[in-house]
Amino acid sequence: MNILRALLLFGFSSLVLAQETSSSSTWEFGLGAGAIHAPDYRGSKESRTYGAPIPYVVYRGKFIQSDRDGVRGQFLQGDKLEFNLSMSANVTPESHKNPLRRELQLPELGSSLELGPALNINLTGDSLREGWMLSLPLRAVFSIGGDDRGYTGYVFQPQLVYLHQRNGWGMSFRSSLSYASKEFHRYYYQLPEELATEKYAAYNPDAGYSGWANQIAITRRIDNWRLAFFVRHDYLDGTEFEDSPLMETNHSIRSGVAIIRSFR
């Protein structure tokens, strides 16, 4: 549960911070609660809902910041171009309860941390905090909390992003294509030869196309309260791992809500 709390912090504080860039406070602290409904993994028909308290800690330094993409270190920043090293998180529910993975005696999946450089290019706005931009993140993925921990490959995820803020409301929209290494795909979709059955043949995906995702997030700031909601849809048709016996559906939906009280 401690891992879930930490990852919920990354996910929800980044949504709330989509509208916080104008604040002059270097530090901000708070406490809240969040809940996420998500599949056991992309392509699974099994979904779960879980929640956790969220310790809300924000730092807006000159070179290190918490922003809509999680925690990042700034190397180059301007109104038209930005290059940074950022970190984000993805929470995987209790995959050891997944019926298909249990039937095949596969190891439990962990949640993940992603770390790597990103190039952001302003397309329409006066700055990179408003309007359309092109974001090009390349991140190494590390699993935590599962049976197999450590480096699990990399993901390249070019995406179009739209950001808008008005009267305490914040909105962000992201449409992204993903390409991943074979290690990443095999972590989720491999069926080793020794675990294959008459019903489920052995399968080893390679590197390649990893899906198309669209996400919208809405935030609201009311005095010292922050509210956040997001929904994300992944379309997995034509992916490199589409023929895996672990693929039960080509659609994946995840959503979440959070409420946070900040104390500056």
10-24, 120-134, 170-184, 226-240: the lowest-pLDDT one: 10-24
**Which pLDDT value is given to residue 75?**
60
Domain residues for the domain of 73 are 2-263
Beta strands in the chain (DSSP E): 27-39, 47-59, 64-67, 70-77, 81-90, 111-122, 131-144, 150-156, 159-166, 169-180, 208-222, 225-235, 251-263
110 within 8 A of 92, measured Cβ to Cβ: yes
- What burial letters (b/e) apply to 146-159, b meaning 16+ CB within 10 Å? beeeeebbbbebeb
| pLDDT above 90: residue 61 | no
Could you please report the per-residue DSSP string of 56-71?
Answer: EEEEB-SSEEEETTEE
Mean pLDDT of 153-180: 94
- What is the four-CA torsion angle of 115, 108, 241, 100, rounded to 10 degrees? -150
51 vs 238, residue with greater confidence: 238
Model pLDDT, residue 21: 45
Q: Could you tell me what percent of the chain has a pLDDT over 70?
A: 81
| 194 Cβ neighbours under 8 A, 6+ residues apart | none
Q: How many domains does the chain have?
A: 1
The whole model's pTM is what? Answer: 0.84
Average of pLDDT values for 35-55? 87
Tell me the residue type at 162. Answer: Y
- Cβ 62 vs Cβ 75: under 8 Å: no
pLDDT for the residue 122: 95
CA distance 75 to 82: 8
- At residue 251's C-alpha, the angle toward residues 207 and 142, to 5°, is 45
CA atoms within 13 A on the CB side of 33: 2
Say how far apart CA 176 and CA 192 lie, in whole Å.
30
* Model pLDDT for residues 214-234, shown as the tens digit of each residue: 999 998 989 888 898 999 999
Q: Distance between CA 10 and CA 2 in Å, rounded?
A: 13
Residues 125-147 pLDDT 10s: 888 889 999 999 999 999 987 77
| CATH code, domain carrying 29 | 2.40.230
The tokens of 256 are what? 């979440």
